[in-house]
Amino acid sequence: MKQITAGVLSIAYLESGPADGPVVVLLHGFPYDVRAYDEVAKRLADAGCRCIVPYLRGYGPTRFLDGSTLRSGEQAALGADLLALLDALNIERAVLAGYDWGGRAACVVAALWPERVIGLVSGDPGYNIQDIAAANTPSSPRTEHRLWYQYYLHGERGYTGLKANGKAFCRLLWEQWSPSWTFSDGTYEASADSFSNPDFVDVVTHSYRHRFGLVEGDPRYAEIERQLAQRPPISVPSVILSGADDGVSSKRDDAAAVKGFSAKVRRQVLPGVGHNVPQEAPAVFADAVLEVLNR
């Protein structure tokens, strides 16, 4: 475990592989942590890559430097954290790979700072930049049902519930989002320890409120959010990995999935895989990273 000051955070991260290898940053989602990439990082390190696996804001040992900083979970903050980490580690360019929140951070940096990105691997929905202006447009009843947890976290009942029952709540999401993945109690607990971060509840609830326009964001990220509202294209080589059994992401065809990408992009649907693609299908995930690295 290493720690580095980057932007508004002291970011904890794992590092493996040769120091002079091509850099790959592997970014976890909600409610997961760095353990999602144990097998992926091992495969990539063995292939000669330098792997950086950070704990996102609100997770594990990552901490805010200032107690007065808004515990924001907005997409611009996640992207800014990733860019600050690249700067702090003096990484000029890297492959960015992530899913869920981590995929969003990777997409933000790939869209706004493509000169820093060799290639992108993203879980569903692929182009993972939120359209906040359209967030309150109703979806199909099936889609709305899958998003129950977001609506729950909009109110104080959800905030209190996550604070009181966080591990049980997150385990339920693991089960619902990856119904064909049989994970052990030990596998879950290894990640669930990260949800004890003192900022976890604040960051998570802010994220799901901000994305629906219910709360203000951190003013320091207002310009990034303004740019993201323009729906900037992703112009780096990309692979989208979609779990066929994903219990939260909306099902879509290839044409819809690749919208928002202006460079070469390939989508792969993975039978028997749910939402947590790197932990459920580490070989496929690692191969996708090597594919964009070698294009």
Q: Where are the domains of the chain?
A: 2-293
Query: Residue 281: its pLDDT value, please?
Result: 98
Looking at the chain, the whole-number percentage of residues with pLDDT higher than 70 is 100
**Exposed (0-12), middle (13-18) or buried (19+): which is 137, by Cβ within 10 Å?**
exposed
> What pLDDT, on a 0 to 100 scale, did the predictor assign at position 272?
97
Task: Work out the mean pLDDT of the chain and round it to a whole number.
Answer: 97
Outline where DSSP puts E strands in the chain.
2-6, 9-16, 23-27, 50-54, 63-64, 94-98, 117-123, 238-243, 265-270
Q: How confident is the model at residue 236 (pLDDT cuts 50, 70, 90)?
A: very high
Please report which confidence band the pLDDT of residue 295 belongs to, taking 50, 70 and 90 as the band edges: confident
Strand 23-27 relative to strand 94-98: parallel, antiparallel, unpaired?
A: parallel
Range scoring the smallest mean pLDDT among 28-32, 43-47, 230-234, 246-250: 246-250
- pLDDT interval class at 254 (50, 70, 90): confident
- Which position has the token pair 């515990």? 71
Count of beta carbons in the 10 Å neighbourhood of residue 227: 16
Prior bond of 138 cis (ω within 30°): no
Instruction: Answer yes or no: CATH 3.40.50.1820 is held by domain 2-293.
Output: yes
Query: Is the confidence at residue 120, as pLDDT, over 80?
Result: yes
Q: Would you state the pLDDT for residue 50?
A: 98
Q: Write the pLDDT tens digit of every residue in 179-209.
A: 999 999 999 999 999 999 999 999 999 999 9
**What is residue 171's predicted lDDT score, i.e. its pLDDT?**
98
